[in-house]
């Protein structure tokens, strides 16, 4: 139930938040874009901050642009989720859609697939090449179906002994990164680049002749994601830094953190399009570099490209259009008492990862509204260091099936490496 905020309490909380912004990130003038600041001073002061959710229904009134105030409403406390209506103007939404269409959409990719595809054409392999692909493409339709793929991959230890169901799970989970259940020549040639992931899955499952209940659920969900996407650089979508300045005020983070975060992703879903429940970031691992900073680490010839992880401290999702029916953003375990899967949601017997069939069993689901932004934190803050802490598992979320019309969103991910020096 939503509660009305009081002006006095709101002002106290905003004063505390602004004090943290100054004390933990940068001095007041650094909240404007200032590339001339002394880097050593900025590093000494740089800390992460989070807006206090207070309680569900709480509303902050924040001046995110000179003379323009926005209402920031708490939708959940675990994780902190905030709704900001009209964060983007109708014109800004339309401009992003137009820019995305002019640049051209492609089937949605993971960070791993994007990294691999950028290098796959510069590598050669004695087996995973176009000649081998054409040999197994028996019907000459430019892709390998499940059976053709299995015959091609029989050379991998353990594949020949898999049951049909186990191989399908292997295909869905490991090699079919765009979730369309067919393999293109590009996907086939990329396999050597993800061999770390392939080998690990085969080692962990080589003796499995039957699927576990959780694996059966995963197969029944079908493709994890069905959508089209395009990536936009900040100078393309925000040449005057208007959105950048808004994000600085909203998040209270150091400008360098916003500047060095990922490009904007624009995603379009048609009817049937969805993205099953997932986390935008993964747990900390000191031995594996973050995807956005891996180029800063010494090269390791033994490490495949799969050996990096996504490190997204916060997500800001924008709705670029209303959706006629469906397409909700669902948080299955928001404000749940525990994260233990048996206690998830309104009905613990359902597969809440499956947003095709169980969208409205989620604890929180949001209808797309043009111009609205949704902000949440994927990680906690480490109390000792003031830097990136553990994964907040309650940030599990996804996109429900579009039933009628189209769904348009854009994502700004605020990326932070838990290794402060990076």
**Per-residue pLDDT reduced to its tens digit, 201-230:** 888 887 777 888 878 888 888 888 999 999
Half-sphere exposure of 145 (CA within 13 A, CB side): 5
| Average pLDDT of the segment spanning 136-157 | 93
What is the token pair recorded at 114?
């994007």
pLDDT in the model for residue 200: 87
pTM reported for the whole predicted model: 0.79
- Whether 120 and 193 have beta carbons less than 8 Å apart is answered as yes
Separation of alpha carbons 420 and 210, rounded Å: 44
Nearest to 221 by CA among 401, 328, 356: 356
- Whether 84 and 372 have beta carbons less than 8 Å apart is answered as yes
CA distances to 49, 129, 244, 402, 422 from 257, rounded to whole Å, are 12, 40, 11, 33, 11
Task: Note the pLDDT tens digit of each residue in 310-356.
Answer: 999 999 999 999 999 999 999 999 999 888 765 554 555 678 899 99
pLDDT in the model for residue 169: 87
Q: Is the pLDDT of residue 5 over 70?
A: no
Q: Which comes out higher in pLDDT, residue 48 or 32?
A: 48
Task: Note the pLDDT tens digit of each residue in 41-93.
Answer: 445 658 999 999 999 999 999 999 999 999 999 999 999 999 999 999 999 99
Task: Evaluate the omega torsion of the peptide bond into residue 61 and state whether it is cis, within 30 degrees of 0.
Answer: no
Q: Is the pLDDT of residue 118 over 70?
A: no
| Residue 281: Cβ-neighbour burial (10 angstroms; 0-12, 13-18, 19+) | buried
In 156-302, DSSP assigns E strands to 225-226, 228-232, 264-269, 274-278
Instruction: Band the pLDDT of 31: cuts 50, 70, 90.
Output: very low
Cα end-to-end span (Å), the chain:
42
For residue 144, give the DSSP letter. Answer: B
Q: Is the pLDDT of residue 24 over 60?
A: no
pLDDT in the model for residue 186: 86
What is the token pair recorded at 20?
């943290």
Number of H helices, E strands in the chain: 13, 18
Task: Note the pLDDT tens digit of each residue in 219-269.
Answer: 888 888 999 999 999 999 999 999 999 999 999 999 999 999 999 999 999
Tell me the chain's radius of gyration from C-alpha atoms: 23
Torsion of CA 259, 391, 114, 103, to 10 degrees: -50
Separation of alpha carbons 113 and 118, rounded Å: 9
Helix (H, G, I), strand (E, B) or coil at 58: coil
Share of the chain above pLDDT 90, in %: 56
CA distances to 131, 197, 282, 333 from 303, rounded to whole Å, are 27, 11, 19, 35
pLDDT in the model for residue 127: 93
Nearest to 275 by CA among 375, 355, 199: 355
Instruction: Band the pLDDT of 15: cuts 50, 70, 90.
Output: low
pLDDT in the model for residue 119: 52
Q: Is the pLDDT of residue 274 over 50?
A: yes
- Whether 286 and 297 have beta carbons less than 8 Å apart is answered as no
């Amino acid at each position: 139930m939503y509660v009305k905020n009081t002006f006095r309490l709101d002002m106290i909380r905003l004063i505390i938040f602004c004090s943290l912004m100054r004390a933990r990130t940068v001095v007041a003038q650094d909240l404007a874009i200032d590339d001339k600041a002394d880097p050593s001073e900025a590093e000494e002061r740089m800390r992460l901050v989070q807006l206090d959710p207070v309680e569900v229904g709480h509303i902050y009134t924040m001046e995110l642009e000179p003379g323009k105030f926005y209402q920031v409403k708490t939708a959940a406390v675990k994780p902190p989720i905030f709704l900001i209506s009209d964060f983007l103007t109708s014109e800004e939404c339309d401009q992003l859609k137009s820019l995305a269409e002019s640049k051209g959409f492609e089937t949605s990719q993971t960070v791993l697939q994007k990294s691999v595809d950028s290098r796959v054409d510069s590598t050669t392999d004695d087996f995973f090449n176009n000649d081998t692909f054409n040999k197994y493409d028996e019907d000459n339709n430019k892709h390998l179906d499940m059976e053709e793929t299995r015959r091609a991959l029989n050379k991998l230890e353990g594949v020949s002994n898999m049951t049909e169901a186990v191989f399908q799970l292997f295909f869905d989970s490991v090699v079919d990164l765009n979730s369309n259940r067919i393999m293109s020549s590009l996907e086939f040639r990329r396999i050597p680049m993800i061999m770390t992931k392939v080998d690990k899955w085969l080692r962990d499952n080589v003796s499995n002749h039957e699927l576990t209940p959780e694996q059966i659920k995963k197969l029944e969900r079908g493709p994890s994601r069905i959508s089209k996407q395009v990536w936009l650089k900040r100078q393309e979508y925000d040449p005057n830094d208007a959105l950048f300045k808004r994000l600085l005020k909203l998040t209270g983070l150091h400008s360098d953190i916003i500047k060095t975060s990922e490009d904007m992703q624009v995603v379009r879903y048609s009817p049937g399009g969805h993205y099953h429940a997932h986390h935008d970031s993964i747990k900390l691992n000191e031995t594996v570099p973050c995807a956005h900073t891996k180029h800063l680490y010494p090269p390791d010839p033994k490490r495949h490209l799969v050996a990096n992880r996504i490190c997204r401290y916060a997500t800001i999702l924008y709705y670029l259009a209303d959706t006629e029916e469906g397409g909700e953003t669902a948080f299955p375990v928001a404000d749940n008492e525990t994260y233990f899967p048996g206690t998830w949601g309104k009905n613990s017997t359902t597969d809440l990862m499956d947003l095709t069939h169980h969208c409205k069993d989620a604890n929180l689901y949001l209808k797309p509204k043009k111009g609205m932004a949704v902000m949440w934190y994927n990680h906690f803050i480490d109390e000792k260091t003031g830097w990136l802490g553990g994964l907040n598992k309650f940030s599990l979320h996804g996109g429900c099936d579009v039933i009628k019309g189209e769904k348009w969103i854009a994502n700004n991910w605020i990326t932070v490496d838990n290794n402060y020096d990076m």
